[in-house]
């Protein structure tokens, strides 16, 4: 536990934190525009339609793998140079995909890009997780990084891709990666860890295992519902305008939810927030499935986005209360990414030819299961850790 009166270490300086958020935003940018970008590649004949799912999955899993390996790489020093080099390589891959004569396999390139994104993201996560208020920083970052995704998700299909094709999308990713490389020069060379925990190792206690399972199950449910949201709206017979408003509204509410959690997070118990939030999200997913009016569907979509990111800062607080070394908190990002990619696959067998509502029933079931797992993690949590419920960590 840190004393808030202590002098802040260099990695908590505002310039360093902002630079870390820029790096993280560039690393996660692809998640918001990936379906649009891959769809453009299919239209151009650069990847077959049946290869779209593989390209999407390998990049997300590569990001997850990079965020698992990255903290070990970044903690050894020279973080500034390593991160800048990774961002430059990422920019090179994205710019390379805009060239007409580029003939390397798309899936292999996106897998390499995912690994670089995950490694650079881990630098940002390391800096923000070892801050005095990691939950608040997480909420601010999650909201901020969603804003360019919202803007690009609107501009790509309406303005950029019709004019420049997929090259326009990869140019955006390349420019952001180049900006991140410049921002990385403002990072520190080494993150100063809390001296009281620097030698601690992650102990896979029952509480740590269960909260990891809870996060995975929760994001699996979220990922499944999000992946099929557009198709569900089409099944309901809603217009393209309604679908566009619902999806863009959901993304905007993700920003609001993340920032709301950053603002009030310290005043709300993390265990209550996670259990109640999972239950409300489960009910909200069912509301999406049965909504037969455009206004109801749009409202449910916005609520879905609100809960999605709002619960992550509370996950970080819970993880730090369980594991004082903060290594478990760092691992929550790859766990979330794997869950988001696994959810659609786990529930795809329920995607009937004429009725997608069973997907959302399955998603709701996963979210209910995550609430139960969060409750179990609370029961397994050592009594001495409960102090983190009300004290800044």
Q: How many CB atoms lie within 10 A of CB 96?
A: 14
CA-based max dimension of the chain: 62
pLDDT of res. 351: 62
Provide the token pair at 93.
């891959």
Rounded-to-integer distance, Cα 12 and Cα 193, Å: 11
The CA-atom distances, in angstroms, between 347 and each of 189, 224, 283, 351, 358 are: 43, 7, 18, 7, 9
What is the tens place of the pLDDT at every residue in 44-61? Answer: 888 886 666 677 778 888
Please provide the average confidence, as pLDDT, over all residues in the chain. Answer: 84
Tell me how far the alpha carbon of residue 178 is from its chain's centroid: 21
What is the tens place of the pLDDT at every residue in 134-184? Answer: 878 888 888 888 889 888 888 888 788 889 998 999 999 999 999 999 999
363, 204 Cβ separation under 8 angstroms: no
Rounded-to-integer distance, Cα 344 and Cα 53, Å: 10
Answer yes or no: is pLDDT of 315 > 60: yes
Please, which residues have CB within 8 angstroms of residue 289's CB and are 6 or more apart in sequence? 232, 357, 360, 361, 364
- DSSP secondary structure code for residue 278 in this structure: H
User: What sign does the dihedral 254-137-319-261 (CA atoms) show?
Assistant: negative
- pTM check: above 0.85: no
Of the two residues 33 and 25, the one the predictor is more confident about is 25
The CA-atom distances, in angstroms, between 295 and each of 1, 132, 233, 254, 356 are: 47, 41, 12, 19, 20
Answer yes or no: is pLDDT of 12 > 60: yes
Q: How many CB atoms lie within 10 A of CB 189?
A: 12
Q: Which H helix or E strand runs over 326?
A: none
Q: How many CB atoms lie within 10 A of CB 384?
A: 8
pLDDT above 90: percentage of residues in the chain:
34
Rounded-to-integer distance, Cα 73 and Cα 76, Å: 6
What is the tens place of the pLDDT at every residue in 107-132? Answer: 899 999 999 999 999 999 888 888 87
User: What sign does the dihedral 228-233-235-236 (CA atoms) show?
Assistant: positive
Answer yes or no: is pLDDT of 43 > 90: no
Lowest mean pLDDT among 140-154, 181-195, 273-287, 346-360: 346-360
In terms of Cβ atoms closer than 10 Å to its own Cβ (0-12, 13-18, 19+), residue 257 is buried
Mean pLDDT of 362-369: 94
What is the tens place of the pLDDT at every residue in 211-231? Answer: 999 999 999 999 888 878 877
Interior angle at CA 148, CA 145 and CA 149, nearest 5: 85
Task: Please compute Rg for the chain using Cα positions.
Answer: 20
Nearest CA among 210, 228, 264 for reference residue 373:
210
């Amino acid at each position: 536990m840190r004393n808030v009166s202590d002098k802040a270490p260099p990695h908590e300086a505002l310039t360093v934190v902002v630079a870390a958020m820029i790096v993280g935003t560039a690393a996660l940018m692809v998640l918001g525009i990936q379906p649009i970008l891959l769809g453009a590649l299919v239209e151009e004949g650069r990847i077959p339609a049946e290869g779209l799912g593989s390209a999407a999955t390998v990049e997300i899993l590569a990001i997850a793998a990079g965020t698992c390996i990255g903290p070990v790489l970044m903690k050894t020093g020279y973080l500034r140079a390593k991160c800048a080099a990774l961002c430059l390589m990422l920019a090179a891959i994205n710019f390379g995909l805009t060239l007409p004569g580029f003939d390397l396999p798309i899936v292999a390139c996106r897998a390499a890009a995912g690994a670089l994104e995950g490694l650079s993201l881990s630098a940002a996560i390391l800096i923000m997780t070892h801050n005095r208020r990691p939950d608040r920083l997480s909420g601010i970052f999650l909201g901020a990084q969603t804003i360019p995704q919202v803007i690009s998700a609107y501009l790509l299909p309406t303005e950029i891709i019709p004019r420049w094709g997929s090259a326009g999308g990869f140019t955006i990713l390349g420019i952001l990666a180049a900006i991140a490389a410049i921002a990385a020069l403002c990072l520190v060379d080494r993150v100063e860890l809390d001296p009281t925990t620097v030698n601690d190792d992650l102990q896979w206690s029952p509480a740590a295992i269960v909260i990891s399972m809870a996060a995975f199950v929760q994001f699996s449910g979220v990922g499944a519902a999000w992946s099929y949201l557009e198709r569900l709206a089409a099944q309901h017979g809603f217009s393209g305008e309604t679908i566009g408003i619902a999806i863009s509204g959901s993304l905007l509410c993700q920003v609001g939810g993340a920032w709301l959690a950053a603002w009030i997070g310290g005043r709300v118990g993390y265990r209550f927030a996670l259990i109640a939030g999972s239950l409300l999200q489960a009910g909200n997913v069912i509301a999406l499935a049965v909504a037969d009016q455009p206004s109801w569907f749009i409202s449910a979509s916005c609520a879905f986005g609100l809960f999605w990111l709002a619960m992550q800062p509370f996950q970080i607080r819970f993880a730090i209360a369980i594991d004082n070394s903060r290594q478990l908190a760092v691992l929550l990002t790859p766990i979330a990414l794997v869950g988001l990619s696994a959810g659609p696959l786990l529930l795809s067998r329920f995607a009937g030819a004429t009725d997608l509502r069973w997907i959302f029933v399955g998603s709701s079931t996963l979210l209910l299961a995550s609430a139960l797992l969060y409750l179990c993690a609370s029961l397994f949590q050592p009594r001495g850790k409960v102090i983190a419920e009300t004290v800044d960590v």
